[in-house]
Structure 1
Amino acid sequence: MKKIIVCGFVLVLAAAVIFGGCSRKPKYTVPEYQLAAGEETTSAPGIIINKGKREVFMFAVVNGKYFTQPTRHGVVFADGSNGDKSVLIGLGDEKVFYAAMVAVGFGPSNKLTIDDMSKGVSVEGEPLDVFVAWDGKEVPFANVIRASQERPMDIRFGGNLENAKEYNTGCILCLDSCAVGITSNAAYETGASETINFYGKKDVLPADGTMVRVIFRARAFS
Structure 2
Amino acid sequence: MQHNMMSWKKGLAALCLLAITGLTGCDQKTDAAAQNVGYDGLSPNTPLRVDPQTRTVTMLVQVNGRFLTDDTRHGIVYKGGSNSQKSLFIGYAPPKALYDALKQIHATPGDNMTMDNKETTHVAGSKLAISVTWAGAAKAYSFDDVIVDSNGRKPDMRFGGNLTAAEEKKTGCLLCLDSCPVGIISNAVYTYGAVEKRGEVKFTGNAALLPPDGTLATVSFNVME
Per-residue Cα deviation, 1:162-197 (whole angstroms, up to 9, x for no partner): 000110111111011101000000011221113021
Query: Residue 131 of structure 1 corresponds to which residue in structure 2?
Result: 131
Query: Residue 53 of structure 2 corresponds to which residue in structure 1?
Result: 52
**Equivalent residues of 2:178, 2:192 under 8 A apart:** yes
Query: Residue 122 of structure 1 corresponds to which residue in structure 2?
Result: 122
Distance, in Å, in 1 between the alignment partners of 2:39 and 2:202 is 35
* Matched residue type, 1:176: D
* Matched residue type, 1:145: I
127 and 30 in structure 1: CA distance in 2 versus 1, 3 angstrom threshold: farther
Q: CA RMSD in A?
A: 2.0
Correspondence for 1:166 among 159, 165, 168: 168
Per-residue Cα deviation, 1:90-138 (whole angstroms, up to 9, x for no partner): 0111111101100111110111111122x33210100000000113620
* Percent of aligned positions that are identical: 40
* Matched residue type, 1:130: I
Where does structure 2 lack aligned partners over 5 or more consecutive residues? 1-33
30 and 132 in structure 1: CA distance in 2 versus 1, 3 angstrom threshold: farther
* Matched residue type, 1:88: F
Q: How does 1:16-27 map to 2 (within 5 A)?
A: none
SS in 1 for 2:127: strand
**Equivalent residues of 1:30, 1:46 under 8 A apart:** no
Larger Rg, first or second structure (1 or 2): 2
Where does structure 1 lack aligned partners over 5 or more consecutive residues? 1-27, 36-40
76 and 29 in structure 1: CA distance in 2 versus 1, 3 angstrom threshold: farther
SS in 2 for 1:80: coil
Aligned-residue offset at 1:29: 4.5
Query: Residue 14 of structure 1 corresponds to which residue in structure 2?
Result: none
Distance, in Å, in 1 between the alignment partners of 2:58 and 2:82 is 22
Instruction: Identify which range, 134-143 or 105-114, moves more after superposition.
Output: 134-143
* Matched residue type, 1:191: G
Query: Residue 187 of structure 1 corresponds to which residue in structure 2?
Result: 189
Query: Residue 98 of structure 1 corresponds to which residue in structure 2?
Result: 99
- Equivalent residue pairs, number: 186
34 and 181 in structure 1: CA distance in 2 versus 1, 3 angstrom threshold: closer
